[in-house]
Amino acid sequence: MRQRSKELRVSNDANLRLQIAQEWIESYPADTEILLVAHSREAADDLLLRVVQSRGAAFGIKRVTLNFIASRLAQRVLAEASTAPATNLTFTAVV
């Protein structure tokens, strides 16, 4: 596997950020496993759709949110403590 350079790109322009992310994803072969972390599942889906429209196919891209990652990381600790995470529905039911 070739060595990738590391860089941090910052912009106030959402379209530019999407373009940078799209170009980064497209720099890998279509079958590369990539973890796409986005603010929402819909945002990740939109970016993936841009990639597919541009190059025709993308396999192995897993789309997640930070909330999903946090909940997965917390599952073992919560299970060991015999507790469970509370969702918005849980809070609605209690109130």
Nearest-angstrom CA–CA distance, 52 and 58:
6
Q: What are 15-72's pLDDT values in tens digits?
A: 999 999 999 999 999 999 999 999 999 999 999 999 999 998 888 999 999 989 998 8
At 58 the pLDDT is 87
Tokens in use for 20?
Answer: 């940078």
Indicate the pTM of the whole model.
0.74
pLDDT of amino acid 32: 93
Closest of 31, 39, 87, 85 to residue 63, by C-alpha: 39
Token duo for residue 61: 């891209």
